């Protein structure tokens, strides 16, 4: 059990092997003169795991991301996202720090892990593709514009969100880039991060004012097999969840805050609301489906081979029929049928 004083708030992390982690907060009342404050002081939440500020990036990756990546490599779609107040470390957790190699975040560690796992399976044919989307003021932008690096966000191709008749969502005009190595994938990540728009707010001068979705598209099949497994891993860095009234901004930044809060629905900042949101998300149950299909290229090659084999057999049969000599009885029967 550990007690830490953090921004005038006390929190307690209690580990339990059977029930996971219990996180408790103590929020002192605001005892302003002349007012009675009946606000709740004690809050507690139950999670599978909680980390304190001393946790290392490799620990977070090992516990949060590794099992999800393994599922993606097996053909199941997965999502990992960071939610919370501006300045709480979302981008550092997802992308990482640039100064030290040990500070790499979930995205670069995931790319390294995927290509490492692919190298362990030489009998498999594997492909990896990358897309990088930014959502700013309710509009989508392609961060991996193949033409050039943008000088401003509006220079990037705009991405539209479309819904089909079955309720499935599709991204129109979002480019997909092949990555045959970890280095190529990291270069795409660097290009996308370069194109990300960073804005200043009174709360944090390096605050990200948009949602960013880095998606890794993976396909794998065993050599000689026509069955292919495809899956997508979405790694999401959400915008800060601070309430408009506490940002102290106006003009364009006020508009940004409105759109951010609109897309985050009813979610609020401060530690308590973040924990409430995390508990709600933890209760969501999804039906996982294996994304398995027949590789059309392999199937076409296989069918062409079968067609050629049938042609060869038919040719042999035809030649046999042409070279056979009819007996006298067969000739008599033929004459009878003709006349």
Residues at the binding site are 84-91
Binding site for ATP, by residue number, is 84-91
Q: What share of the chain is helix, strand, coil (3-state, %, to 5)?
A: 35, 25, 35
Distance CA 64, CA 106 (A): 9
**What is the SS3 assignment for 259?**
helix
Angle (CA) 116 119 123, round 5°: 145
Torsion angle, alpha carbons of 119, 122, 126, 132, to 10: 0
Residue 24: strand pairing partners = 12, 44
Strands (DSSP E) found in the chain = 2-6, 9-16, 20-26, 42-47, 78-82, 124-136, 139-142, 158-163, 169-172, 177-178, 211-222, 227-237, 292-294
Token pair 């029930």 is found at 19
Distance CA 122, CA 182 (A): 16
Distance CA 269, CA 279 (A): 15
Residue 6: strand pairing partners = 9
């Amino acid at each position: 059990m550990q007690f830490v004083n953090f921004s005038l708030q006390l929190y307690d992390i209690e580990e339990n092997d059977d029930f996971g982690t219990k996180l408790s907060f103590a929020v002192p009342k605001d005892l302003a003169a002349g007012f009675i404050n009946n606000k709740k002081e004690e809050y507690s939440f139950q999670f599978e795991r909680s980390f304190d500020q001393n946790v290392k990036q490799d620990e977070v990756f090992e516990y949060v991301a590794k099992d999800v990546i393994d599922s993606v490599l097996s053909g199941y779609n997965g999502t990992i996202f960071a939610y919370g107040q501006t300045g709480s470390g979302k981008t550092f957790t997802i992308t990482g720090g640039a100064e030290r190699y040990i500070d790499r975040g979930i995205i670069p560690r995931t790319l390294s892990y995927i290509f490492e796992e692919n190298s362990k399976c030489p009998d498999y044919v594997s492909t990896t593709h990358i897309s990088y989307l930014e959502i700013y003021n309710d509009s989508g932008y392609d961060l991996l514009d193949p033409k050039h690096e943008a000088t401003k966000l509006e220079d990037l191709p705009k991405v539209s969100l479309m819904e089909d008749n079955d309720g499935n969502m599709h991204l129109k005009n979002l480019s997909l880039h092949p990555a045959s190595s970890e280095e190529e994938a990291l270069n795409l990540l660097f290009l996308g991060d370069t194109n990300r728009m960073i804005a200043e707010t009174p709360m944090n001068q390096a605050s990200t004012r948009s949602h960013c979705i880095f998606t890794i598209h993976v396909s794998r099949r065993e050599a000689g097999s026509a069955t292919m497994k495809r899956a997508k891993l979405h790694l999401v860095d959400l915008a800060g969840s601070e309430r408009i009234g506490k940002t102290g901004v106006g003009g364009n930044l006020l508009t940004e805050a409105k759109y951010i809060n609109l897309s985050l629905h009813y979610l609020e900042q401060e530690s308590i609301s973040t924990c409430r949101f995390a508990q709600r998300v933890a209760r969501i149950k999804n039906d996982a489906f294996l994304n398995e299909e027949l590789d059309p290229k392999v199937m076409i090659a296989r069918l062409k081979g079968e067609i050629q084999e049938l042609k060869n057999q038919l040719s042999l049969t035809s030649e046999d029929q042409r070279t056979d000599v009819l007996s006298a009885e067969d000739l008599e029967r033929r004459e009878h049928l003709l006349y």
